[in-house]
Chain A
């Protein structure tokens, strides 16, 4: 049991003798005591001073105990102050009403000193624990806000703007922080390393693993070893540093905006959706692949494609394809592809936003279950010239 600190108590009773007797008892226990003879005086004191607890008589002329309790419950600043109701034995119905209204406990008159101390200590202990919990929660929320800010700040500040290409991206974590990420790494000579990753699980552990993976990919991708080898090397480090059996799926590709080629490597991640200028799906050859962080030598699906003018490619995380509608049906790659066929003429940025709204509508407005990430690029038609 935590040590009960000496507290600031307010005794509200219209009877002078009761007030003085309670004051004597409480001051002997080391508490600071203020007295109020009626409800209005009590509310005035509560507005001016901070109290740790109120001992409240019910029957008082003018504003009675019920009215004081009602006002306190309605006030966000006073709602958390515990109230112990003090009433005669024949007033138990009133006590029940007070407890229903939010009073913490009750005492019967004449007040017994031993019982008074026990009830006050119990209520103060509960308040102490609540206050500690609230402080910890606030600290945790603040730390989560910082973590969220830090996580969002490591995402690319600006998307690539090579001639003949436009880009768009959007990430919406399901919680304050998430396990999804995307990146657009400048590789020189109009080449860009494009990455979308998705760590198993969500929340803080996923966010920490995501940050680790993100950093490793940044380092390995810039060494011109090709996306497949870069992912294999990232896997090696993840196995060394990962004691929690976490894993990450990654789609990583080198977009050459001069040669209009996309050299990609896929580790357990969904293939991109790729739409021709006419709105028809362009197919990838699908080969098996495995997530990073689990196996010594994971299967990596690697390939090189040519990007036709006017085509649009969307890299995404499974927060989109595994979105579930109220009937329990997943949206799936085909659902996303069908949507993109009707929106492919929008800019990549608008396509990303449309996907976000489309997924939310598909889920019937239910709470977001998984992180949502899209990275899209469009090769303009005029780049043919």
Chain B
């Protein structure tokens, strides 16, 4: 089964090199905050049946997750985005909790990698 908390080290270290090790912890912190906010927005949109708000939120999560090496997390967000665009919010509801659950673990992993 896919581990949504997995971080691709090659991507992460490449980003670290490109941004600078001093800059990375701050941007990871912002990323984690924003992902959390987007997840809350997506959850709320799912509850209210707001297709476009849900799609927009998971689109944003997908886009930035891939940058930090959270490839599976990003891929899952992409799947949810596809479901959102297709209007299949019922199926999205069944998959969305996995993303929610993975988020705190992913956050911790990224923070640790910053200081590794």
Q: Using CB atoms and an 8 Å cutoff, list the residues of chain A in contact with chain B.
A: 14-18, 20-21, 24-25, 28, 59, 61, 88, 90, 109-113
A288 to B60, CA, bound (A): 86
Asked if A15 and B60 sit within 8 Å, CB to CB, the answer is yes
Asked if A113 and B18 sit within 8 Å, CB to CB, the answer is yes
For residue B62, CB closer than 8 A to chain A, the reply is yes
Within 8 A of A (CB), among B1-40: 15, 18-20, 23, 27, 30-31, 34
8 Å CB contact of A17 from B18, B23, B27: B27
Asked if B34 and A16 sit within 8 Å, CB to CB, the answer is yes
Asked if A88 and B62 sit within 8 Å, CB to CB, the answer is yes
For residue B83, CB closer than 8 A to chain A, the reply is no
Asked if B64 and A17 sit within 8 Å, CB to CB, the answer is yes
Asked if B30 and A20 sit within 8 Å, CB to CB, the answer is yes
Q: Using CB atoms and an 8 Å cutoff, list the residues of chain B in contact with chain A.
A: 15, 18-20, 23, 27, 30-31, 34, 56, 59-60, 62-64, 66-67, 78
Enumerate chain A residues within 8 angstroms of B59, measured Cβ to Cβ. 59, 88
Asked if A18 and B18 sit within 8 Å, CB to CB, the answer is no
Name the residue among A14, A17, A28, A109 with the largest chain B CB count within 10 angstroms.
Answer: A17
8 Å CB contact of B30 from A17, A59, A111, A113: A17
A18 to B63, CA, bound (A): 8
Enumerate chain B residues within 8 angstroms of A18, measured Cβ to Cβ. 63-64, 67
Enumerate chain A residues within 8 angstroms of B62, measured Cβ to Cβ. 88
Enumerate chain B residues within 8 angstroms of A14, measured Cβ to Cβ. 60
Having A17-B64, A88-B63, one finds 15 other A-B pairs with CB under 8 Å, namely A14-B60, A15-B63, A16-B30, A17-B27, A17-B30, A18-B63, A20-B27, A21-B19, A24-B20, A25-B18, A28-B20, A61-B56, A110-B15, A110-B66, A111-B67
Enumerate chain B residues within 8 angstroms of A17, measured Cβ to Cβ. 27, 30-31, 34, 64, 67
Can you report 24 residue pairs joining A to B where beta carbons are below 8 Å apart?
Answer: A15-B60, A15-B63, A15-B64, A16-B34, A17-B30, A17-B31, A17-B34, A17-B67, A18-B64, A20-B27, A24-B20, A24-B23, A25-B18, A88-B59, A88-B62, A88-B63, A109-B63, A109-B66, A109-B67, A110-B63, A110-B64, A110-B66, A110-B67, A113-B18
